[in-house]
Amino acid sequence: MHQLTNKKKIVIFLIFLLVLLSSLNNKNLTKYNSDLFKIKSIKINGLDNEKYEKKIVNALNYLNNENLIFLDKDKLTKILNNFNFLNNFSVFKNYPKRIIVNLEQASLVAIYYNNGNQYYIGSNGKILNSEDVSNGSFNLPKVYGKFKTSELINLMNLLNKNHIKFNSIETIFYFESKRWDLQLKNNILIRLPNIDIDIAIELAKKIIEDDQFNEKIIDLRVANQVIINNE
């Protein structure tokens, strides 16, 4: 009986020792995994603007020494979405210690003036402050009026569809009646209607390409009516 009791004590001790060692091993393993997958490198691809790259680098500095396995992609996505100069992006985990961030930079499509201030509109429909844009001259149309940037992007797409280059336009005016005037660099003024814009642009293109056309104004504001003059 005494021998049996001793055996029980030995078994209990061995079980306790096994649990203790397992606990210590798990802690060491967790620490090892934590150190193994700490982010030590962030690779950024796709930007050709130093200002933009510095902004991205500063915004992503918090990732250094974060655990790559438990990377909060929602937080990272929210941060990158705040940059108006980005058109698209993707993030890849490169185990064990690296993140690769591929960025697609939005192109500038227009210069926008509002309340005496100059801004830029990107191909993603977002507005950029002048200080966020590199110094240099841009062959971009100047846009005036109060409009949604999505409306301007739609206009640009319709012009491209009809092979009218957006950079062939000097100035664009948007009116409260929800229509556009386009002042081309060859001094031709196109007055568009507020409906069926695609049809009007297609018609304007045909008129301009007509060898007999030598006027300066194409007025398409009224449905089923074309007014062409020099005044």
5 within some domain? no
Mean of pLDDT values over 26-30: 50
Domains identified in the chain, total number: 2
pLDDT at 16: 54
pLDDT at 12: 61
197 within some domain? yes
pLDDT tier at 15 (50, 70, 90 boundaries)? low
Residue after which a domain boundary falls, among 72, 105, 138: 105
152 and 115 part of one domain: yes
Residue after which a domain boundary falls, among 105, 122, 156: 105
159 and 207 part of one domain: yes
Residue 120: which domain range?
108-229
List the CATH number of the domain containing 137: 3.40.50.11690
List the CATH number of the domain containing 74: 3.10.20
Query: Lowest mean pLDDT: which of 17-21, 171-175, 189-193, 201-205?
Result: 17-21
91 and 204 part of one domain: no
176 within some domain? yes
Residue after which a domain boundary falls, among 105, 129, 146: 105
pLDDT tier at 43 (50, 70, 90 boundaries)? very high
151 and 219 part of one domain: yes
146 within some domain? yes
225 and 113 part of one domain: yes
* Better pLDDT: 98 or 21: 98
pLDDT tier at 181 (50, 70, 90 boundaries)? very high
Q: Indicate if the pLDDT at residue 214 is higher than 70.
A: yes
115 and 221 part of one domain: yes
The pLDDT tens digits for 50-74 are: 889 999 999 999 999 999 889 999 9
Q: Indicate if the pLDDT at residue 144 is higher than 90.
A: yes
Tell me the pLDDT of the chain averaged across its residues: 85
Cα–chain center distance at 146: 22
pLDDT tier at 33 (50, 70, 90 boundaries)? low
pLDDT tier at 8 (50, 70, 90 boundaries)? low
